[in-house]
Amino acid sequence: MTLTADAGTTTLDLGPARALTCRECGHQIPLAAEFACAECFGPLEVAYEFGNITRAQIEAGPKSIWRYRNLLPVPSDVDAHPNTEPGLTRLVKTDRLAAALGVKSLWVKDDTGNPTHSFKDRVVGVALAAARQLGFRVLACPSTGNLANAVAAAAARAGWQSVVLIPSSLERAKVLTTAVYDGALIAVDGNYDDVNRLATELAAEHEDWAFVNVNVRPYYAEGSKTLGFEVAEQLGWRLPDQVVVPVASGSQLTKVDKGFRELIELGLVDAKEYRVFGAQATGCSPVAAAFKAGHDVVTPVKPDTIARSLAIGAPADGPYVLDVVRRTNGAVENVSDEEVVEGIRLLARTEGIFAETAGGVTVATAKKLIETGQLDPDAETVLLITGDGLKTLDAVEDKIGPRATVPPSSEAVRAALAD
């Protein structure tokens, strides 16, 4: 599938998007379903020509990521087509968590509130809108779980077919919350990196399937910018000092940074120096390892962690994560599975927010970054909580439960509470 702006599709409207540019060599091609540079195999990224965009214009827009449509590769009538309407999730001032961590000013961006309960609805929303313009009618992906949910739901809503590939070891909840949308869900005996390789092969064979994170990845990835946009808008049009982002492929972290930079370039927020931190589970921490070793390249690992949504051993955007955290004076840190569970429980106990394992990674990493003096406790910090705890109950089920099981008598309850 290589429909391009000048290949007879005069109706190709992707808003402010103008071309795809290679991140490595700068080579440009017309907008198309391509993801790798023909010159150097570098990843392609959307290039824009932004018009005049004002805060008022955005604020008057829909209560979803489509309020930022003029900053995304989507058509100007994007909200006229069925989509899942992700975004504009709450930014919560988390004073009790701040006190527990010993920091002054802390916020949680709670992306559990999206339609399928993770930030992946953002990237899939943009991928679906772009794929529709590019002529596709099948939505596909390899996934560590959350993307599977988002793709299956968005395709159902749009009346498209979906083909979703997952590792067969995925959490039961993530399997069921994908299967319920009744697309083609295929469990593969292998880890995510095996599934991803398989998807790349299938994408080459099935040119009419939009693999959101393979052949339409440049568009898909832009959806994560909306996390950065929303944080800035919800802070009253200013950037935080520090942000902590979970890292799997690394796409989200690089795009939150890109979102911040675009807001500065467009004069929508004041320019300032902010720091971006990456969070990984030790059982899959190739980017943290490269950061700590001072390397520019990321050596792949075989994942072994309860944070299965982040279990990508060969992260496509790993080197770009390293660029962002080094440029912004941030870091990439990693935490053990025990710390991940502690992170989930700390956020739940202090703020009433139940995050999945990726959120546990973020909270626990923030704690470690504070304890090791890498994160400034006096600077305003935002933690990205990107997925819902109901999807990863198995991570906590052995550790929590009722305090007691008693007969229906007030005396028995009193006795249990006295313990």
Ligand X SMILES: Cc1ncc(COP(=O)(O)O)c(C=O)c1O
CB of 171 to ligand X, least distance (A): 11
Given ligand X, Zn ion, none, residue 251, with its beta carbon under 5 to 8 Å by kind, binds: ligand X
Could you tell me the end-to-end alpha-carbon distance of the chain, in angstroms, rounded to an integer? 66
Nearer to ligand X, 83 or 386 (CB): 386
Residue with tokens 């083609």: 184
Cα separation, 32 vs 269, whole angstroms? 31
Nearest-angstrom CA–CA distance, 224 and 120: 8
Nearer to Zn ion among residue 40 and residue 204 (C-beta): 40
- SS3 of residue 84 by DSSP: coil
Establish if 118 lies at the interface with ligand X (CB under 6 A): yes
Tell whether residue 13 is a contact of Zn ion (CB under 5 A).
Answer: no
* Measured distance CA(230)–CA(259) in Å, rounded: 9
Please select the residue that binds Zn ion; options are 13, 24, 323, 376, rule is CB under 5 A: 24
Residue span 133-152 as binding mask against ligand X, x where in contact by CB under 6 A, dash where not: -----------x-xx-----
In 3D space, the residue among 323, 326, 319, 248 whose CA is nearest the CA of residue 281 turns out to be 248
Is-contact 241 274, C-beta < 8 A?
A: yes
User: Which one, 21 or 116, has the nearer CB to Zn ion?
Assistant: 21
Q: What percent of the residues of the chain are helix, what percent strand, and what percent coil, each to the nearest 5?
A: 40, 15, 40
**Residue 389 is which amino acid?**
G
- Angstrom CA distances, 312 to 207, 215, 263, 300, stand at 25, 18, 30, 9
251 binds ligand X (CB under 6 A): yes
CB of 35 vs Zn ion, minimal distance in Å: 12
Is 305 a binding residue for ligand X by CB under 6 A? The answer is no
Q: Which is nearer to ligand X, 16 or 250 (CB)?
A: 250
- Given the DSSP bridges, would you call strands 184-188 and 161-167 parallel, antiparallel or unpaired? parallel
Question: Which of 5, 18, 42, 206 is close enough to bind Zn ion by CB under 5 A?
Answer: 42
The site partner of 309 among ligand X, Zn ion, none (C-beta below 5 to 8 Å per kind) is ligand X
Handedness of CA 225, 226, 230, 233 (dihedral sign): positive
Residue 144 interface partner, choices Zn ion, ligand X, none, CB cut-off 5-8 Å depending on type: ligand X
Of 7, 39, 184, 329, the one binding Zn ion by CB under 5 A: 39
The nearer residue to ligand X, 97 or 247, going by C-beta atoms, is 247
Asked if 326 and 81 count as a contact pair (C-beta separation under 8 A), the reply is: no
HSE value, Cβ hemisphere, 13 Å, CA-based, for 351: 27
Q: How far is the CB of 407 from ligand X (least distance, A)?
A: 41
Nearest to 291 by CA among 261, 273, 315: 315
Q: Does 247 bind ligand X (CB under 6 A)?
A: yes
Segment interacting with ligand X (CB under 6 A) among 27-35, 95-103, 241-249, 323-331: 241-249
Least distance in angstroms from the C-beta of 71 to Zn ion: 24
Residues making contact with Zn ion (CB under 5 A): 22, 24-25, 27, 37, 39-40, 42
Residues making contact with ligand X (CB under 6 A): 118, 120, 144, 146-147, 246-252, 309-310, 356, 358, 386-387
